[in-house]
Amino acid sequence: MRAAPRLLRLGGRLLEAAITLWLLGTLCFVLLRAAPGGPFDTEKAAPPEVQAVLDAQYRLDQPLLLQYLGWFGDALRGDLGPSFQYPDYTVNQLIANALPVSALNGGLALLLALLFGVGLGAWAALRAGGWTDRALMLLAGLGLAIPKFVVAPLLVLLFAVTLHWLPAGGWGEWDNVVLPVIALALPNIAYCARLTRASLLETLSTDYLRAARARGLSETRLLFAHALKPALLPVAAWLSPALINVVTGSAVVEQVFGIPGMGRYFVQGALNRDYTLVLGVVLAIGALIVAINVLVDALRGWMDPRLEQGE
């Protein structure tokens, strides 16, 4: 009997996901077409006959509504069209090459954020009010205050230019991953640490855990056996905005380090008015975020069944 409500919730989430992606793609299509300039605008204009051939090849000679319907129909079939900027590749091929790169960087950054953020936040909570707590929260505040477009060049200057420990950019070797992942992870580590500390302090102050402490339970057992799981509920809810933070930050980080990922393709596509590439990247990232949101909801329901029962 309980399976039916779960299936209904899943169906509702899938419907919401489809509507969200449709609205996202439509809005992006309208904004791209409303922006001045075109994909083939250059300082030296192409001959009219060449321009006519290009417009016909990419459907730019059609009315805007027909262009939208053509793109939408192709997208429903999984065909995101040819790239204007990279004529030898389709958008599907470019995304297939770039998505694993961005997924590796983003996944490692989120993993570091969880490991170090939860660990440092728990350490600070267990030493609340002490110098360790103050120092960690000061560092976390600095991590949140410094934007990624400042962090990434500083990492290059320190570890690549000054110390010569790591490469300043590129892709293909394990050491090319280190600096981009750190640049993406640092602000998320800072936020996760502050969030974990605040949540854990609130959990440790509950009457139930005060009574457990009065019965003589050690702080270590109190933390891992009773306090940590409920304290991590806000952290689980934070995973969705953390993913968005990583995705938006990847546009800057991948440009700085010359990484052939989704963020770099988005920036290059936007600068060169590559309509199909930008639309494809936006849809792919949107689908990834929607999928992560569904997984996070399921994770929160597992961590606290009351959330699922209350829906």
Q: What are 76-96's pLDDT values in tens digits? A: 999 998 998 888 899 999 999
User: Does residue 76 fall inside a structural domain?
Assistant: no
Evaluate whether residue 51 is within a structural domain.
no
Q: Could you tell me the CATH number of the domain that includes residue 194?
A: 1.10.3720.10
Averaged pLDDT for residues 88-113: 92
Within-domain flag for 102: yes
Residue 301: is its pLDDT beyond 70? Answer: no
CB distance 95 to 284 below 8 Å: yes
Is residue 118 in some structural domain? yes
> Would residue 200 count as lying in a domain?
yes
Number of domains in the chain: 1
Q: Nearest-CA neighbor of 38 among 60, 59, 56?
A: 60
Please report whether residue 250 resides in a domain. yes
For all residues of the chain together, what is the average pLDDT?
Answer: 84
CA dihedral 212, 218, 223, 225 (to 10 degrees): -70
What are the pLDDT digits (tens) for 140-179? 999 888 888 889 999 999 999 999 999 988 888 888 999 9
Model confidence at 33: pLDDT above 70 = yes
Closest to 171 measured CA to CA, from 101, 93, 243 = 101
CB 159 within 8 A of CB 165: yes
Q: Look up residue 17 and give its amino acid.
A: A
Distances (CA, A) of 122 to 56, 83, 197, 232, 257: 60, 48, 6, 10, 33
Say what the pTM is. 0.81
Residue 302 lies in a domain: yes
Give the residue numbers spanning the domain of 155: 97-310
b/e burial code for range 62-100 (CB count within 10 A of at least 16 → b): eeeeebbeebeeebeeeebbbbbbbeeebbbebbeebbe
User: Is position 58 within any domain?
Assistant: no
The whole-angstrom separation of Cα 178 and Cα 269 is 26
Report the pLDDT averaged over residues 255-269: 90
What Cα–Cα distance (Å) separates residue 101 from each residue in 94, 130, 195, 215, 271? Answer: 11, 41, 29, 51, 21
Tokens encoding 69: 């319907």
Residue bearing tokens 């707590």: 133
Tell me what the mean pLDDT of segment 296-304 comes to: 68
